[in-house]
Amino acid sequence: MIDTPALLRHVVLFAFTDDAGGRIDAIVDAFGALPAAIPAIATYEWGTNVSPEGLNDGFTHCFTLTFVTEQDRDAYLVHPAHQAFVATLDGALARSLVLDYWTP
């Protein structure tokens, strides 16, 4: 088995308001622009829910960012580009869920 270092995953789930429709694509694009603006982001991916289980509780969009260290994640959280992105979400989200975990 190859010994690989643990990575810190930052998972963000969005449930949009019913009237957010026209803003969703712009929000996804803005989130996707963060890796170019914030060097601390090691990897980024996103997708929409396709699970047939029906257990998503209204969450439709998932974004996963990877960081090498907690300090990288913390730098992302306070980075002006991230803060500006968060400000664009006002009124578009019904709910959000964020969790972080270390890969084994």
Domains of the chain, each with CATH number or no CATH: 8-51+58-102 (3.30.70.100)
CA end-to-end span of the chain, whole Å? Answer: 13
What is the structure's pLDDT at 91? 95
pTM for this entry = 0.94
Q: Give the integer Cα–Cα distance in Å for 48 and 53.
A: 14
pLDDT digits (tens, 9 = 90+) for 13-72: 999 999 999 999 999 999 999 999 999 999 999 999 999 999 999 999 999 999 999 999
